[in-house]
Amino acid sequence: MRKNIFLALALSFSASLLYAQKPDYKVVFDLTSKDSIDQKAAIRWISEVTENNPDAQVEIVTFGLGTALMLKEKSIVGDAVTKLAQNKNVSFKICSIAMKNQHLDNSMLLPGVQTVPDGIYEIISKQREGWGYIKVAH
């Protein structure tokens, strides 16, 4: 009888530990618009996620016209991008294909922005790894 009670308590304790653990919070944002409303929304959402969940991993991937978010001369939220990029859990990534198509080079990028060979592949790779996906649009 004692053996059964001990086993039941051990199982109950183990289950409560598993339940108490939070699942990983990982989200990738997809930005393809140069629209200022979308740029501001992306920064607001990233800020809200990281403020409410400091361990969350957040990545924003830009391609197409969304590259404007990452450019020194075009981003309307450049200071915020630079500041957020200093957080080890936040990544700003720009598609190298889009950069080539738009005749952009690395010297035009805001500090902390990283390049990826293919923005779409970056997003689907994150999804395959279990990351949530959010399309930035209004």
- Tell whether 35 is covered by a domain: yes
What is the tally of structural domains in the chain? 1
Measured CA to CA, the distance from residue 108 to residue 89 in angstroms comes to: 23
Average pLDDT, the chain: 89
* pLDDT on residue 9: 44
Domain with residue 84: its CATH number is 3.40.1260.10
For 52-77, write each residue's pLDDT tens digit.
999 999 999 999 999 999 999 999 99
Within 10 Å of residue 126's Cβ, how many Cβ atoms?
Answer: 21
- Tell whether 8 is covered by a domain: no
* pLDDT on residue 47: 97
* pLDDT on residue 7: 46
- Tell whether 48 is covered by a domain: yes
Query: What is the domain range of residue 118?
Result: 22-135
- Tell whether 15 is covered by a domain: no
Best CA proximity match to 134, nearest among 72, 36, 44? 44
Reported pTM:
0.82
